[in-house]
Amino acid sequence: LANLHHQAIPGYLDYFDRATATDRYFFLVQELVVGKSLATLVENRWRADEAQVQDIAEQILHVLDYLHQQAPPVIHRDIKPQNIIRDENGRVYLVDFGAVQDVYRTTLIEGGTFVGTVGYMPPEQFRGEAVAASDLYGLGATVLFLLTHRSPTDLPKKRMKLDFRDRVHVSPTFAQWLETMLEPAIEDRFESAPEALAFLLGKRNPQRDRIWQYESPKFKGSRVVVQKTAKQLEIEIPPATLRSAIAFLNPTRIFILLFWSTFFISAGMAFPCISFWLACLSCIAYRASGRVRLKIDRHTFRCQWQWLCFSKRVEKHPTQITWVKVIGDDNPACGFGTDDRPYYYCFGSRLTSIEQEWIVTEISTFLRRVPKVDRIHGTSG
């Protein structure tokens, strides 16, 4: 929270804890926002029109976009009327970050803590999972509360989805936006705050096949390219620069290389010396030419390693990927395991730790969006 700086997020001031005979309580201290929560406003019989509700949604989407763009991305996990404050000028603020989760702390398959508020939580959050689209569901439920003055838990459902059309009087376009925000399945919901915002502002139509492609924000100095659509994720890790490849020869390796070269030459053993140097040059060439490409969609998980004229490829069904995480301590890399092999595959050892965490999160988040029907009936690709 101390690292968040946004005009709609009250600034972090301090934290403290208090112990009692039976428990220990932790408190966050934030700047005071003068205004009332949306829950209090509705309790006081405030009725917002469609334009006002859209304005609130637009402001919160900008905040969510900011949070989800952080490194690591920040998922609020408790978007609800009580946590949105509106001042007299119509500006809104997002508060209560006690349930925040940074998504780098969870990887595919691993569970999480049940955090959130019933009625404003999407189905995946009940399973301990939370992605950027989870916050969108909470915002959609909050908008529905503003329009109906009723908690989402009090509204009827049809096939696990809130059935609200006959209870609100809004334009068809706004109703369609709200329908998409409240989709129970992650893959049917807006994928991100920018996509939801674009449609809200009249630039997108979710009825079409959402081929909304973008390059994920790069970290400063990163050469990794990440491109996503609603149905496909592509990641390319280019070769290291020549300077970075040569950096492989750190002082320790240079000392070892010179020591053994001197030993072999003094012993009249030229062949081992040449072999030793060729091995080092091969490592530099590998780092300078090695490229990794990943392509993932609903039916295929493909990882390809390329070095000069050599290539290796692993292709599985997404449901066969059992975990994705950063592995190793001395020489960390991105890794993934499959259900048909006792060993794992790794890539990206030359990347920075933040780049590795970023890539792992992108892959894990995308794999969570594979429709359940594919998870059940998927076969090896």
User: Is 55 among the residues known to form the active site?
Assistant: no
| Contact present, 213 and 229 (Cβ < 8 Å) | yes
CA distance 285 to 64: 43
| Contact present, 300 and 381 (Cβ < 8 Å) | yes
Domain 225-239+290-377 in the same topology as domain 34-208: no
Tell me which CATH code domain 225-239+290-377 carries. Answer: 2.30.29
Residue 90 in this model has a pLDDT that exceeds 80: yes
- What are the residue ranges of helices labelled H in the chain? 38-43, 50-68, 123-126, 132-148, 172-181, 193-200, 242-246, 251-266, 270-289, 353-368, 372-377
Amino acid identity of residue 18, one-letter, is R
- The tokens of 57 are what? 């949604």
SS (H, E, C) 103-116: HHHCCCCCCCCCCC
Residue 30 in this model has a pLDDT that exceeds 90: no
**Overall fold of domain 34-208:** Transferase(Phosphotransferase); domain 1 (1.10.510)
CA distance 370 to 197: 23
DSSP letter, residue 203: S
- The tokens of 139 are what? 């915002």
Confidence of residue 291 (pLDDT cuts 50, 70, 90): confident
Could you give the maximum distance between any two Cα atoms of the chain, in Å? Answer: 94
Tens-place pLDDT, residues 311-334: 899 999 998 999 999 998 777 889
Catalytic choice (17, 49, 55, 78) = 78
CA angle 183, 110, 367 (to 5 degrees): 50
- The tokens of 320 are what? 């066969």
Instruction: Give me the helix-helix angle, 50-68 and 132-148, nearest 10°.
Output: 160
Tens-place pLDDT, residues 149-187: 999 999 998 888 899 998 999 998 999 999 999 999 888
- All structural domains of the chain with their residue ranges: 34-208, 225-239+290-377, 243-287
Q: Which segment of 3-17, 228-242, 272-286, 331-345 scores lowest on mean pLDDT?
A: 272-286
Q: What is the pLDDT of residue 202?
A: 82
Question: Which pTM was predicted?
Answer: 0.58
Residue 20 in this model has a pLDDT that exceeds 60: yes
Average pLDDT for 345-369: 86
Name the residue among 78, 76, 93 with its Cα closest to residue 36.
93
Confidence of residue 50 (pLDDT cuts 50, 70, 90): very high
